[in-house]
């Protein structure tokens, strides 16, 4: 996912050259022109419109085409199709496209890519397809890609770039620069060189801006920065992203289990990881799976089904709590009118506490010291807002149904439910995190069950005991 500067010059003229409209989306006129060229199998027209565009632009265009048009588009462009485009499209589209292309074409396209992009494309294929494509590559490239693919999913090893510049500390600035001028398998762009010892262990880094400003005879060890942040290849990409964020890194050396340099992670991969992880939290909290905006109706409905099913279960649990008090409701129908208010306030207050906790866990801000303080804070916030809203709802209920005692009961239920909301809003994600589950995904279900059940039980129970 490096930039390809040589692919950036805009070409063509007239309508077809306007790729994006004012909102930044791909212009419909452009899509229609491309569609027409595909339908006419006019590969010259397609080349004129698309050959020198940036991969991100072609990726957005590809997403606008139909499933049948996409492989035809790629075949018509031929060698002018940059496979890096496939790293920028939705997962579903990438998989469909790769399945519909001949494996020889994929192998050839992938060979041209930086190693991290190649791995990104290969990793989602099934083993058989992967083996078929790898078999068509030269042995050295194949070995490097295989090593990356052997690291666990979502690990730094999968995201790293294996083409890199590593030099010994005794080299001079001049020799390093000459070496870079001659090397031919370098990534498109890089930002620092890594200094290694004879065992190929990283011992320092030199930012290119520093290298450029040093005189040629100066030895590298005189200008290198020895405090380097290395990443283990089997480290989870989220952990690596935290390191990049904390220290504002542009790139970091990746090492294997014996601390030997095996690759480099760069900020652009990490930007994608940060996006993905934040996205995962948002989706998890809302009960949306890994669906993408380009997915079909059926796929989307199916991916949202499990969460709704679980919610149906918890809603029925809450309903059966209400069922326990049907006699009370029959006697006093105001209870039925007011009970959703208690449950809803608990659900919202709990979601606030839970969201803050989930994000603090994700960004590593809940170390032992902070955890106790935040736990206490959430419970106190629950009680405090509980008291304030108890007064509000107490007055509203007392006036609405001309029944001060009903006001008192709903006020008590409100304080209790908002306290529980704070308590469980904090505790549920922390406990899920401890036992190794993803707090973003599972917390909401447990929480709304608790706030509904507690809300209905406290309000209807207190009313039954005190009013009837």
Footprint of a second copy on 406-465 (CB under 8 A): 448, 452
Q: 134, 270, 412, 415: which one contacts a second copy (CB under 8 A)?
A: 270
CB of 132 to a second copy, least distance (A): 29
User: Considering beta carbons, is residue 125 or 165 the nearer one to a second copy?
Assistant: 165
Contact 246, 231 (CB under 8 A): no
CB of 300 to a second copy, least distance (A): 5
User: Considering beta carbons, is residue 150 or 185 the nearer one to a second copy?
Assistant: 185
Does position 340 bind a second copy by CB under 8 A?
yes
Rounded Cα–Cα distance for residues 397 and 172 (Å): 81
Does position 248 bind a second copy by CB under 8 A?
yes
Does position 17 bind a second copy by CB under 8 A?
no
Q: 104, 222, 370, 405: which one contacts a second copy (CB under 8 A)?
A: 370
Does position 367 bind a second copy by CB under 8 A?
yes
Contact 250, 192 (CB under 8 A): yes
Does position 112 bind a second copy by CB under 8 A?
no
Does position 114 bind a second copy by CB under 8 A?
no
User: Considering beta carbons, is residue 180 or 431 the nearer one to a second copy?
Assistant: 180
Rounded Cα–Cα distance for residues 180 and 186 (Å): 8
CB of 188 to a second copy, least distance (A): 8
User: Considering beta carbons, is residue 103 or 176 the nearer one to a second copy?
Assistant: 176
Contact 91, 98 (CB under 8 A): no
CA 392, distance to chain mean position in Å, is: 40
Rounded Cα–Cα distance for residues 19 and 286 (Å): 34
Residues numbered 167 to 196 that lie near a second copy (CB under 8 A) are: 177, 180-181, 186, 189-191
Residues numbered 39 to 58 that lie near a second copy (CB under 8 A) are: 54, 56
Does position 31 bind a second copy by CB under 8 A?
yes
User: Considering beta carbons, is residue 134 or 235 the nearer one to a second copy?
Assistant: 235
Q: 131, 392, 437, 468: which one contacts a second copy (CB under 8 A)?
A: 392
CB of 283 to a second copy, least distance (A): 7
CB of 213 to a second copy, least distance (A): 5
Structure tokens, 401: 């149904």
Per-residue exposure over 309-346, b if at least 16 CB sit within 10 Å of its own CB, e if not: eeeeebeeebeebbeebeebbeebebbeebbebbbebb
CB of 466 to a second copy, least distance (A): 19
CA-nearest of 114, 115, 54 to 88 is: 54
Strand partners of residue 204: 195
CA-nearest of 416, 422, 423, 424 to 443 is: 424
Rounded Cα–Cα distance for residues 419 and 346 (Å): 9
Does position 326 bind a second copy by CB under 8 A?
yes
Does position 267 bind a second copy by CB under 8 A?
yes
Strand partners of residue 192: 207
Write down the residue that tokens 């070496």 correspond to.
179
Does position 92 bind a second copy by CB under 8 A?
no
User: Considering beta carbons, is residue 349 or 427 the nearer one to a second copy?
Assistant: 349
Does position 68 bind a second copy by CB under 8 A?
no
Rounded Cα–Cα distance for residues 287 and 76 (Å): 40
Q: Which residues contact 438 (CB under 8 A, 6 or more apart)?
A: 280, 284, 432
């Amino acid at each position: 996912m490096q930039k390809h500067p040589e692919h950036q010059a805009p070409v063509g003229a007239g309508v077809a050259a306007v790729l994006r409209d004012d909102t930044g989306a791909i212009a419909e006129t452009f899509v229609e022109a491309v569609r027409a060229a595909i339908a006419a199998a006019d590969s010259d027209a397609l080349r004129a419109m698309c050959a020198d565009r940036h991969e991100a632009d072609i990726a957005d265009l590809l997403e606008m085409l139909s499933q049948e048009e996409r492989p035809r588009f790629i075949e018509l462009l031929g060698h002018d199709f940059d496979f890096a485009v496939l790293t920028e499209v939705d997962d579903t589209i990438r998989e469909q496209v790769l399945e519909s292309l001949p494996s020889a074409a994929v192998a050839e396209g992938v060979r041209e890519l930086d190693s991290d992009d190649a791995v990104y494309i290969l990793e989602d294929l099934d083993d058989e397809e992967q083996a078929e494509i790898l078999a068509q590559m030269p042995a050295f490239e194949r070995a490097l890609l295989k090593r990356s693919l052997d690291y666990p999913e979502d690990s730094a090893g999968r995201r790293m770039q294996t083409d890199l510049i590593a030099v010994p500390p005794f080299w001079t600035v001049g020799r390093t620069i000459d070496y870079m001028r001659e090397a031919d398998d370098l990534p498109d762009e890089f930002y620092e060189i890594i200094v290694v010892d004879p065992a190929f262990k990283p011992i320092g880094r030199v930012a290119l801006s520093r290298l450029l400003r040093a005189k040629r005879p100066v030895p590298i060890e005189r200008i290198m920065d020895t405090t380097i942040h290395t990443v283990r290849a089997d480290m989870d990409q989220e952990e690596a992203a935290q390191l990049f964020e904390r220290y504002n890194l542009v790139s970091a050396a990746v090492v294997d289990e014996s601390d030997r340099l095996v690759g480099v992670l760069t900020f652009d991969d990490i930007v994608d990881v940060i996006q993905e992880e934040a996205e995962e939290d948002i989706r998890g909290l809302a009960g949306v799976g890994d669906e993408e905006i380009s997915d079909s109706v059926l796929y989307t409905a199916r991916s949202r089904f499990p969460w709704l099913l679980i919610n149906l279960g918890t809603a029925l649990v809450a309903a059966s709590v209400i069922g326990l008090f049907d006699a009370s409701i029959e006697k006093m129908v105001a209870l039925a009118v007011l009970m959703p208010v208690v449950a809803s306030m608990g659900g919202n207050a709990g979601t606030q506490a839970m969201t803050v906790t989930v994000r603090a866990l994700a960004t590593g801000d809940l170390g032992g010291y902070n955890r106790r303080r935040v736990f206490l804070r959430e419970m106190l916030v629950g009680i405090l807002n509980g008291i304030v809203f108890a007064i509000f709802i107490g007055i509203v209920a007392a006036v609405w149904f001309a029944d001060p005692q009903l006001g008192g009961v709903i006020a008590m239920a409100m304080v209790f439910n908002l306290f529980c909301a704070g308590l469980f809003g904090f505790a549920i994600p922390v406990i899920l995190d401890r036992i190794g589950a993803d707090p973003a995904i599972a917390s909401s279900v447990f929480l709304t069950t608790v706030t509904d059940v507690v809300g209905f039980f406290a309000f209807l129970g207190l009313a039954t005991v005190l009013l009837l």
